[in-house]
A and B are shown apart, each in its own frame.
Chain A
Amino acid sequence: MTTDLAPEEDALTESGDTGGEDEDTLHRRLGLTDAEYQRIVEILGREPRPAELAMYSVMWSEHCSYKSSRVHLGRFPTEAPWVVVGPGENAGVIDLGDGWLAAFRIESHNHPSYVEPYQGAATGVGGILRDVFTMGARPIALWDQIRFGPLDNPKNRYLFSGVVSGIAGYGNAVGVPTVGGEIAFEECYSGNPLVNVMCLGILRRDQLVLGTAGKPGNVAMLLGAATGRDGIGGASILASASFDEESATKRPSVQVGDPFEEKKLIEACLELYQKDLVVGVQDLGAAGLSCAAAEPAARAGVGMELDLDTVHVREPQMTAPELLMSESQERMMAFVEPSKVDDVLAVAAKWEIAASVVGRVTDGSRLVVRHQGEVVADIPAASLTEEAPRYDRPLGEPAWMEDLWSNRFKHMTAPEIGPTLLRLLDDPSIASAAWVYEQYDHMLFLNTIVGPGNDGNLLRIKGTEKAIAVSTDGNGRLCYLDPRRGAARIVYEAALNVAMTGARPRAVVDNLNFGNPEKPEVMWQFRETVEGISEACESLGIPIVGGNVSFYNETDGLDIYPTPVVGLVGVADPYPKHPPRLDRARAGMDLWLAGPVDATDLAGSSFEKVVYGHVGGRPRAADGTAARAAIDLAVALVSEELSPCLHDVSDGGLAVAVAEIAIASGVGVTFEYADWRHLFSEDPHRFVFVADPAHRGRIEELGAACRATLTRIGEVGGEAIVFTRGTRTDAVDLDEATTTYRRALPRRLS
C-alpha cells in the first residue's frame, strides 16, 4: 500500500528493524509520550514488542482511554432506579416499564469528517449503530448534531454537503431513520466541524447483552466485514491530535463504510440474541480488534488468546500491528459457548456475512496474541483499559472571561422589528433545516409521531401505549460565554423540548467537544461544563448514562467553542394520540407564553450575533425551579390535550418562536409586546403554545398548580405576523417570512 502514512507502515512491519534506537521514534509516532512508554515497560517488565506497542497506543489514546477527562467525569450523577446500565458499557440502558428497555449512546466523528466528509460522517453513523445493537437492542432512530463554519466559505459548503450526504447515504441504506438533530454555524468550526451522532434502540429486558467474554473456554468469533488496512490508528492519529494544514495527508486513517454489510450484521446479531447463542458481544470500532479483545476480557476478569491467522482479511500480508489496530468497519466480536459455534455459523451464513473463530477465553488475565506461529503479544488484558494513564491536567479560568463578561452590547436604539425578524429567519442556524432532514429517511418503522422540524421528537413503541421522546441540544456560543451556565441551560432546554411532546425527562447522554486539553483554559472550560451539566441533571433528578469526550478540536492552535451536546431521553406513557406539532396552530386559537413575559437579557443571543456580530456579556443563569415548573406545565398541557402546538423560546427569542409556528401552520398571528427586547431575548425555561379559547380556564388552573407564569399574548389568524405595542404595529407578510425561512439553506448551497 502506498500512502502518506508510509513511515508508520514501515515502522509497523515486523520484519523491519524495530530494535534499539528506532523504538523511541516508533512510540512517539504512534502518539505515546516517553513517560507512557516507560509505564508500558514497567507493566511488562521488558521492552514491548511492536504489536504490543500498537495495542497500547490505540487503547491509551485520548479517544479510547478518556485519560484527560476521567478525573472529572466522576462528578456526573449516574444513578436512578430506572437505570439498567450506566456509563462504561457500549451504551446506556434505561427501563421503560413492562419489560421494555431503551439503549442509547452519542458519539463524535469530528476529525474524520473534516478529512473526508462523506465517509467520516457515514462511518460515524455505522459506529454508533454498533454501540447500540451490541447491547441486544434493535436501533430504531438516529439524531445528528452537526456544526460548521459559515456557508459563505466554499470549503464549509463542501464539508456541510458532504456530511449531510454521508449521513443520508449510510443511514437510509442501513435502514435506521434519522429523525432529528440540530445544525449550527459559527466561525470557530471552520477548521474543525463537529459531527455528533446519537442512536437509540429498544429491546425486551431478557434480550440485554453485555460486552463480556464470559467464562474460560468460550470462543471468540469475529463476524462481518473482512479486516483491511483502512482506519489504521484512527483513534490515536485522527481523534486524539490537533489539526493543521497537513491534515489532508491523514485521509488513509479514515475508514470506509458499507451500510449493506452493516444491515446484514444488525439482522444477524439480532437473530443470534433471539436464539440465545451468544454470551457477550463487543463491536469493533476505535482500536479495532485490540479493544474488542481487551475490554470484554477485562470486564469478565479473564484472559484471552487470539490467533491472527484466522482473521478473515481483505488483503494478504497484513502485519500483526495492522491487524490489531485496523478500524475496518462493520465488524463484531461475539463470545460463544463451544457447543453453539455451529449454530452461530449457520445464522451468519443465512445473512451472508463472514464469520471466523479467532480465539478463546482463558483462565488468568493475560491477552496472548499469535501470528504466523509466533507470540506477538502477551500482556495483562486489563492493563490496556484499567491501567491506562489518567491525567489531572492543570486548569485555570481564561484571562479573557472577565473581558468577555464586561463586553456587553450597548443597545442605543430599538431595531426595526420586521426586517430584524426576517434577518433572523434567514440565518442558517435558525432557518428551516428541511433541506437537510428531507434527505434523511425519518419515517421508517412507523414509530415517528413527532418528527424533524419540531423541538423534540416522539417515537411510539408499536403495540404499546409507550413512546420515547428525544431532544438533542447544544449551544457553543452560550458555553463560550459561560461554560457552566451554558451547559446547564442546554440540559434544561432539552428537558423542556422533551416535555413539550408530553414526555417526562428520564436520562441523558452527552458528547463533550472541546479544544486542546493540554491548555489550562480548555480544561477549565471542561470542568465548568461537567459541573453545569451535573447541576442541571441533579435539579431535574435525571442521571447521565453514557457519553463521549472529543478533545483536540483545534486547528492551527485555534480551539473551538466549548461545545457540549446533550441527548435527553424521556418517556410518555400513555403517549398523546394527537401528538403536538408545530404545524397544528389554527385561526381563532389563543397564543400563550409560559414563563416571564418581560425578559430583556440579550447576552449570547442570536439577535446580537446575527444583527450586530457581537458575542459578549454573561448569559443568564438557569433556574431549576422555573425549569421544573415549565416542564410540569408542558407535560400537563399535552397530556390533557389542551394544546396542539407548543414551541420553546430559544434561538432568535420570542419573535422567531412565534414566527416558526405561523410558518409551519401556514396561518398568521398577532401579538402584543411591551419592550422590543422581549421579542429577542433568549432567557431560558420559556415556551409559547396555542390553545382553543374554550380551554382558558383550565389552562390558568394548570399554570397556578405548576407555579408557572402564564400570559395570553395574542391570537392566531390572518396572513401576517403582526407585532403590536400600544398604537404601533409592525407586520411581516407570512409568505415572505415563509420563503425567507425555507430558502435560507438551499439558496446558499445551490
Chain B
Amino acid sequence: MSRIAVVVFPGSNCELDVQWALRAIGAEAEMVWHRETDLSGFDGVVLPGGFAHGDYLRTGAIARFSPVMSAVTAMAEAGRPVVGICNGFQILCEAHLLPGALIANRDLRFICRPVEVEIVDTATVLTASVEPGAVLTLPLNSYEGQHTDPSGTARVVARYVEDVNGSQDRAAAIANEAGNVVGIMPHPERSSEDVLGSSDGRLLLESLVAATERIPA
C-alpha cells in the first residue's frame, strides 16, 4: 500500500478531511508537521486547504518557507506525485513548483459552492483515472481562487464549465510539464461520498493513489 503525506501548516484546516477521504479508498495517509524535513518514507504528498500561517502577507507566501517545503520540492523533482488543493495550490505557485499565482476572485467575495469542472488533461497524477472530457461536480471554497499566469505556460488540467471567479483560461486545476505536480482549486475530498452530495472527487483521489503505487520508491 502506498503512503501519502498530508502536510499540516499552522492554519491548515482541510488535513483531516483529506486524510479521511484518502483512507476511505484504502490509502495510507499520515499527517506531517510543517517543521519536518524528511519525506523519504512517503510515495506522494498532498498540501491541503486552509489558511497556512494565517495567509498573512499573501496566501502561501510564508508557507513556501516552511522547513517541509524543501522535501516537497525534492519529491516534485524526483517525479513523485505532489498535489496542492486550494491553499495547497496557492503554496505550490508561491514555491514556483507551478506557474502563475492565485489572486482574489473577480467579484471580491469568498465562494463556497459546488461547481462543474471539465477534465481536459488526463495525463497527470490527479486525472489519469478520469475519462477525458468528463464533467465533475466539485465544491469550491476560496477567496483567492482566480488563477492568473502572465507567462501563458500553465498546463490546464481542468476548466470551470462556467466562468466562476475570473480564472485565466477558466483554469480550475493546472499541472507542471511532467504532470506529477498538480494544483486544484476545488476540493475533491468534499465530494468523495454520495451522502455529501457528490462522489465525483473520488475519481481524482483514486488517480492520485494509483499514481503513488505506480511510481517506484
Contacts and interface: CB of A to CB of B under 8 A. Distances in A.
Contacts of A258: 54
A158 interface: no
Interface in B38-80: 50-51, 53-56
Nearest to A351: B10
A44 to B, nearest CB: 44
B10 A444 contact: no
A88 to B, nearest CB: 32
B11 interface: yes
A441 B141 contact: yes
B147 interface: no
Nearest to A138: B16
A340 to B, nearest CB: 22
Nearest to B192: A446
Contacts of B17: 444-446
A495 interface: no
Contacts of A175: 11, 13, 50-51
A662 to B, nearest CB: 20
B195 A438 contact: no
B159 interface: no
A724 interface: no
Interface string B121-146: 00000000000000000010101000
A442 B51 CA distance: 16
A189 B16 CA distance: 40
A260 B10 contact: yes
Interface in A346-360: 350-352
A70 to B, nearest CB: 39
A468 B117 CA distance: 32
A579 B195 contact: yes
Interface in B129-180: 139, 141, 143
A33 interface: no
Nearest to A350: B33
Nearest to B17: A446
Contacts of B214: none
B16 A441 contact: no
A462 interface: yes
A172 B110 contact: yes
Contact of B190 (A168, A260, A350, A443): A443
B60 to A, nearest CB: 14
Contacts of A448: 196
Contact of A446 (B21, B33, B50, B110): B21
Interface of A: 168, 172-173, 175, 258-261, 263-264, 267, 350-352, 434, 437-446, 448-449, 460, 462, 577-579
16 contacts: A168-B110, A172-B51, A172-B141, A173-B11, A175-B50, A263-B13, A351-B10, A439-B109, A439-B112, A440-B110, A443-B112, A444-B13, A444-B17, A446-B20, A460-B195, A462-B20
The 4 A-B pairs of least Cβ separation, nearest first, read A260-B54, A175-B13, A439-B110, A173-B51
Interface of B: 10-11, 13-14, 16-17, 20-21, 33, 50-51, 53-56, 109-113, 139, 141, 143, 187, 189-190, 192-193, 195-196
